């Protein structure tokens, strides 16, 4: 894996337009995320610049544009609010240390090659926590939309919301709603030329300055110009557990958010991303963002899409997007000073509304009631507990439900056969052998992959049949078997041998045969080609054969020889 992407200029024109367009889309959102987080508008810009540049330089998705996103901002807002309340002097520095920690964890995820597993979450879980994040963004932006300062947490926001609703700043409400109207109503053709967030930001800010200059409006204020200053990591022993938990939350969320966007980028650019390399690039970007006081970021879907649509194809477009924003930092300070917070709240309300998975929310009840319930459980846990808990609980329940469905399917492939009645998948010769045996031969036929969920079904089926003299275990149609199911087979074999019954096992070369060998079931085995059925003793044994028919014939000959004796 080459750590640094090779930059070429064969598509420089498309990358230039793509990066410029992405920067225009990113500017208002970076300012809004910065203000919403509590770290200031400049932190959003620094995050967009640093994560955008280094994730493109080191990442594994050529056309992806990275920067602060709604999900990442939700988490970092909680981190900043919590730590600053506990430690007014060092809380912000500790929050940026957590951003660095999240980036370090993402690098570790990439080095450990976990990228292919991170997005293997059930869609119901992904839908639930993404919609939960959308709900959080909407709730947290209601206070600034109503003209009040944000309070940081969902619960406290809901507690104070009645007071805010009873005493709104109508100018702020009007400007925020006008912002929402513009971003929703701009025609697609105009939106491609002039992105609606930037149009709304500029137009409504001008209106606020011209018509409501003396109104009591909260505004961004002038942001610092120039390069960021270094922020050394700051730890607190008392907060170490929470810092690690929040760092893991940022790392996991950033990984999921980025890799989902990478899938979108693949579909629209007809490319194939490298998940592990992408995680390393995102991790490097987030570590450096935290080191220089920037918000954490991830792959941003809307910015990536407009980049590709404008011609961006290589990592150069993401780097150009970052450099354009860097130029903005040097001269746009006085221009941003008059932007009302209500305008930014309107922009973020649009982000929250877009994050809600409306398509699945509408169709979920028709698709699956269990899936719907799981989705809403994850949503509520995301809103009122935290993301990690929501994902872990959702993934656990989803996996249990999946295992139950697979177990039911595997149980249908377990057949305990003592006669030929109703078993049309047996050949006529096999049916004739079972009929002549008169119930003395028990055929245990398994099919399909056998996981631990099938073990109980295997044992239960066998417990129903006790009166037989020969057992044929047909595993020829089992491509793989889990250790628990294999141990259930071993118990059946040992029980049969303990009752002086002969056992034939039919397996094909592959994983099942290796598993049988690992369990040392061959200690009971005797090669079939050396077996002399005319001199069979009553000692129990397993004989591994090549076909079910051969096993049934051998079992029948054994029973016949015993009866003659």
Q: Are 115 and 259 in contact (CB under 8 A)?
A: yes
| Listed residue (528, 520, 462) closest to 496, CA to CA | 462
* Band of pLDDT at residue 539, cut at 50, 70 and 90: very low
- Helices then strands, each counted (H, E), the chain: 24, 7
Average pLDDT over residues 348-365: 90
Q: Which of 8-22, 32-46, 349-363, 448-462 has the lowest mean pLDDT?
A: 448-462
* Band of pLDDT at residue 565, cut at 50, 70 and 90: low
Partners of residue 447 on adjacent β-strands: 477
Beta strands in 339-469 (DSSP E): 414-417, 441-447
Q: Could you count the other beta carbons within 10 Å of the beta carbon of residue 175?
A: 28
Cα separation, 69 vs 298, whole angstroms: 6
Cα separation, 67 vs 541, whole angstroms: 67
pLDDT (0 to 100) of residue 277: 95
Q: Are 473 and 444 in contact (CB under 8 A)?
A: yes
* Band of pLDDT at residue 183, cut at 50, 70 and 90: very high
The more confidently predicted of residues 59 and 3 is 59
Q: Would you tell me the crossing angle of helices 123-145 and 170-185 to the nearest 10 degrees?
A: 140
> 201 pLDDT exceeds 90?
yes
Residue 121 sits at φ, ψ, to 5 deg, of: -90, 145
* Band of pLDDT at residue 424, cut at 50, 70 and 90: low
Average pLDDT over residues 457-485: 82
Cα separation, 83 vs 242, whole angstroms: 10
pLDDT (0 to 100) of residue 544: 57
Q: Which of 34-38, 456-460, 510-514 has the lowest mean pLDDT?
A: 456-460
Q: What share of the chain is helix, strand, coil (3-state, %, to 5)?
A: 65, 5, 25
| Listed residue (350, 258, 222, 224) closest to 67, CA to CA | 258
Residues of the chain above pLDDT 70, percent: 93
Beta strands in 7-165 (DSSP E): 66-67
The more confidently predicted of residues 246 and 496 is 246
Average pLDDT over residues 528-539: 38
User: Helix or strand or coil: residue 536?
Assistant: coil
Cα separation, 216 vs 379, whole angstroms: 36
Cα separation, 465 vs 112, whole angstroms: 49
pLDDT (0 to 100) of residue 527: 46
């Amino acid at each position: 894996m080459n750590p640094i992407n090779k930059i070429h200029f064969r598509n420089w024109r498309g990358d230039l337009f793509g990066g410029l367009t992405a920067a225009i889309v990113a500017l208002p959102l970076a300012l809004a995320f910065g203000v919403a987080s509590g770290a200031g508008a400049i932190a959003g810009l620094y995050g967009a610049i640093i994560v955008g540049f280094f994730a493109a330089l080191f990442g594994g998705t050529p056309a992806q544009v990275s920067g602060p996103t709604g999900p990442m901002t939700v988490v970092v807002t909680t981190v900043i609010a919590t730590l600053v309340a506990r430690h007014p002097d060092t809380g912000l520095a500790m929050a940026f240390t957590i951003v660095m920690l999240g980036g370090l964890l993402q690098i570790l995820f990439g080095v450990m090659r976990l990228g292919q597993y991170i997005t293997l979450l059930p869609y119901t879980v992904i839908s639930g926590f993404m919609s939960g994040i959308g709900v959080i963004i909407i709730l947290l932006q209601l206070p600034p939309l109503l003209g009040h300062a944000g309070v940081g947490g969902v619960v406290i926001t809901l507690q104070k919301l009645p007071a805010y609703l009873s005493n709104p700043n109508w100018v702020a409400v009007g400007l925020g709603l006008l912002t929402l109207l513009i971003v929703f109503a701009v025609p697609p053709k105009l939106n491609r030329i002039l992105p609606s967030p930037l149009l709304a930001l500029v137009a409504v800010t001008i209106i606020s300055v011209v018509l409501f200059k003396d109104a009591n409006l909260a505004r961004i204020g002038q942001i610092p110009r120039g390069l960021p200053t270094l922020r050394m990591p700051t730890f607190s022993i008392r907060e170490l557990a929470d810092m690690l938990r929040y760092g893991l939350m940022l790392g996991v969320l950033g990984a999921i958010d980025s890799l989902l966007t990478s899938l979108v980028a693949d579909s629209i650019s007809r490319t194939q991303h490298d998940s592990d390399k992408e995680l390393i690039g995102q991790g490097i970007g987030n570590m450096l963002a935290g080191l220089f006081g920037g918000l954490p970021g991830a792959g941003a879907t809307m910015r990536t899409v407009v980049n590709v649509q404008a011609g961006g194809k290589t990592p150069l477009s993401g780097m150009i997007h970052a450099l354009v924003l860097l130029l903005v930092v040097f001269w746009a300070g006085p221009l941003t000073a008059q932007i009302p917070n209500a305008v930014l709240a309107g922009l973020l309300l649009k982000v929250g509304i877009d994050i809600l998975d409306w398509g699945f929310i509408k169709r979920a009840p028709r698709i699956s009631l269990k899936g719907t319930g799981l989705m809403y459980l994850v949503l509520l846990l995301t809103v009122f507990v935290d993301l990690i808990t929501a994902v872990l609980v959702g993934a656990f329940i989803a996996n249990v439900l999946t295992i139950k469905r697979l177990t039911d399917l595997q149980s249908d492939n377990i057949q305990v056969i003592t006669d030929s009645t109703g078993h049309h998948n047996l050949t006529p010769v096999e049916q004739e052998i079972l009929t002549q045996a008169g119930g003395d031969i028990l055929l245990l036929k398994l099919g399909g992959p056998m996981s631990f969920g099938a073990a109980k079904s295997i044992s239960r089926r066998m417990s129903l049949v006790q009166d037989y003299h020969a057992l044929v275990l047909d595993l020829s149609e089992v491509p793989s078997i889990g250790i628990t199911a294999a141990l259930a087979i071993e118990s059946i074999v040992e029980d049969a041998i303990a009752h002086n019954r002969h056992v034939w096992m039919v397996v094909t070369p592959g994983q099942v045969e290796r598993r049988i060998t690992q369990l040392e079931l061959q200690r009971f085995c005797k090669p079939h080609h050396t077996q002399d059925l005319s001199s069979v003793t009553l000692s129990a044994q397993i004989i591994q054969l090549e076909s079910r028919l051969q096993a049934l014939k051998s079992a029948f000959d054994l029973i016949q020889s015993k009866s003659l004796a």
